[in-house]
Structure 1
Amino acid sequence: QYMGIETLVVDGVHKDYLHIAYKGNDILYVPVEQFQLIRKYSSRDGKPPHIHALGSPKWAKEKARVRQKVDGLADDLINLYAERMRQPGFAFEPDGDLQLEFESEFGYELTPDQAQAVEEIKKDMETPRPMDRLLCGDVGFGKTEVALRACFKAVVSKKQCAFLCPTTILSAQHYRTMQKRFEKFPVNIALLNRFTTTKEKKQILADLKEGNIDLLVGTHRILSKDVEFKDLGLLCIDEEQRFGVRQKEKIKNLRKTIDVLTLTATPIPRTLQMSIMGIRGLSQIETPPLNRLPVQTYVSEKSWALIKQVIERELSRNGQVFYLHNRTENIYEIASTLQTLLPNARIGVGHGQMDKNDLEDVMTDFVEKKYDILVCTTIIETGIDIPNANTIIIENADKFGLAQLYQIKGRVGRSERIAYAYLLYTKDRAMTEEAQKRLTAIKEFTQLGSGYKIAMRDLSIRGSGDILGGEQAGFIDQVGFDMYMKILQDAIEEKQGKIKEDETVPSRNVPVDGYIPEDYVESDMEKLELYQRVYKANDLETLKRVEHELTDLYGVLPSQVRNIVVKRRFDILSHDPLIDDVKDSSQGLEIRFSKVFLEDLDGQKFFAYVNHMFKKPQMKYTDGMLTIVSGMEPYYVSASTEFLDSVLKQYYKTHTSA
Structure 2
Amino acid sequence: SVNSLTDDILAEAVNFEMSRNGQVFIVNPRIEGLYELEARVKALVPDARTLVAHGQLPPAELEKSIISFANHDYDVLLATTIIESGIDMPNVNTMVINNAQNFGLSELHQLRGRVGRSNRKAFCYLMVPPGQPLTPVARRRLQAIESFSELGSGIHIAMQDLDIRGAGNLLGAEQSGFIADLGYETYQRVLREAVTELKTQEFSDVLADMDNTADNPDEFVTDCAVESDLELLLPADYVPQASERISLYKELDSIERDLDLAQFKLRLEDRFGKIPHEADELLRIPPLRQTAKRLGIEKVTLKQGYMYLYFVDDNNRAYYQSPMFGRILNYLQANPRRCRLREKNKRRSMSVEKVATVAEGLSVLQCMLKMDSL
Normalising by structure 2, report the TM-score.
0.47
Higher relative contact order (CA 8 A, sep 6+): 1
Normalising by structure 1, report the TM-score.
0.27
